[in-house]
Amino acid sequence: MDLVERFLRYVQVETTSDESTEVTPSTPTQMAFAKMLKQELIDLKFEEVVLDELGYLYATLPANTDKKVPTVGFIAHMDTAPDASGKNVKPRIVKNYDGKDIPLNADTVMQTNYFPELLNHVGEDLIVTDGTTLLGADDKAGIAEIISAMIYLREHPEIEHGKIRMAFNPDEEIGMGAHHFNVELFGCDWAYTMDGGEVGELEFENFNAASARITFHGTNVHPGTAKGKMVNAALLAMEFAEQLPEEERPESTEGYEGFYHLTGMSGSVEEAQLSYIIRDHNRELFEARKKNILAIAENINAQYPGRCEVMMKDQYYNMLEKVQEADEENRKKNLPGIIELAKQAILDAGVAPKVQPIRGGTDGAQLSFKGLPCPNIFAGGMNMHGRFEYVPIQSMEKAMMTVVNICKLIAK
List residues with catalytic annotation: 79, 172
Q: Assign residue 206 a region (left: φ > 0; alpha: ψ between -120 and 50; beta: otherwise).
A: beta
Neighbours of 47 (CB within 10 A): 11
The whole-angstrom separation of Cα 286 and Cα 270 is: 32
Coil, strand, or helix at residue 38? helix
Neighbours of 336 (CB within 10 A): 18
Structural contact between residues 377 and 342, judged by C-beta atoms closer than 8 angstroms: yes
Integer-rounded Cα Rg, in Å, for the chain is 24
DSSP string, 251-269: GG--TT--EEEEEEEEE-S
The whole-angstrom separation of Cα 285 and Cα 274 is: 22
Amino acid at 265: M
- To the nearest 10 degrees (0 to 180), the angle between helices 320-332 and 338-348 is 90
- The secondary structure element, H or E, covering residue 148 is helix 137-155
The whole-angstrom separation of Cα 252 and Cα 247 is: 6
Strand segments, DSSP code E, in 174-320 are 190-196, 201-203, 208-217, 259-267, 271-280, 308-316
- To the nearest 10 degrees (0 to 180), the angle between helices 137-155 and 393-411 is 50
Neighbours of 245 (CB within 10 A): 10
Among 259, 304, 305, smallest CA distance to 280 is for 259
Count of alpha carbons within 13 angstroms of residue 11, beta-carbon side: 29
Neighbours of 100 (CB within 10 A): 12
